Amino acid sequence: MKVRYFAWLRQRTGCTGEEVDPPEGVRNVADLMAYLGGRHPRFAEACAASGVVRCAVNQEHVGPEHPLAPTDEVAFFPPVTGG
């Protein structure tokens, strides 16, 4: 599964993206956030603050309950500030 980080989440994790192979119990976005938090303590901190970490799966905004498949591209980022 391909994971990407943007803006200050990219700075906190120290990487723009990574290939991960999460354990079987990781079924949705919330599970993946918890799993990734174990690898990146500063990502876990951000996830603990509500409404700060947003997610897109295959380039569509999704909520924490969104189910995941091994071939998905999952992106985490703060609220957007475009335009």
Partner 1 sequence: MARALVQVQEMAFTPGEELDAFIRAGRADEGAVVSFTGLVRDMALNDGLKALTLEHYPGMTERQLIAIADEALTRFGLHRCLVLHRYGRMSLREPIVFVATSAAHRGSAFEAACFLMDWLKTKAPFWKLEETAEGERWVDARAEDDAAAARWVS
Q: Which parts of this chain interact with partner 1 (CB under 8 A)?
A: 4, 6-8, 10, 56, 59, 61, 75, 77-83
What's the closest the beta carbon of residue 83 comes to partner 1, in angstroms? 4
Are 2 and 57 in contact by the 8 Å Cβ rule? The answer is: no
Q: Choose between 27 and 58: whose C-beta lies nearer to partner 1.
A: 58
Q: What torsion do the CA atoms of 1, 27, 30, 67 make, to the nearest 10 degrees?
A: 80
What's the closest the beta carbon of residue 24 comes to partner 1, in angstroms? 28
In angstroms, rounded to a whole number, what is the distance separating the alpha carbons of residues 20 and 18?
Answer: 6
What's the closest the beta carbon of residue 8 comes to partner 1, in angstroms? 5
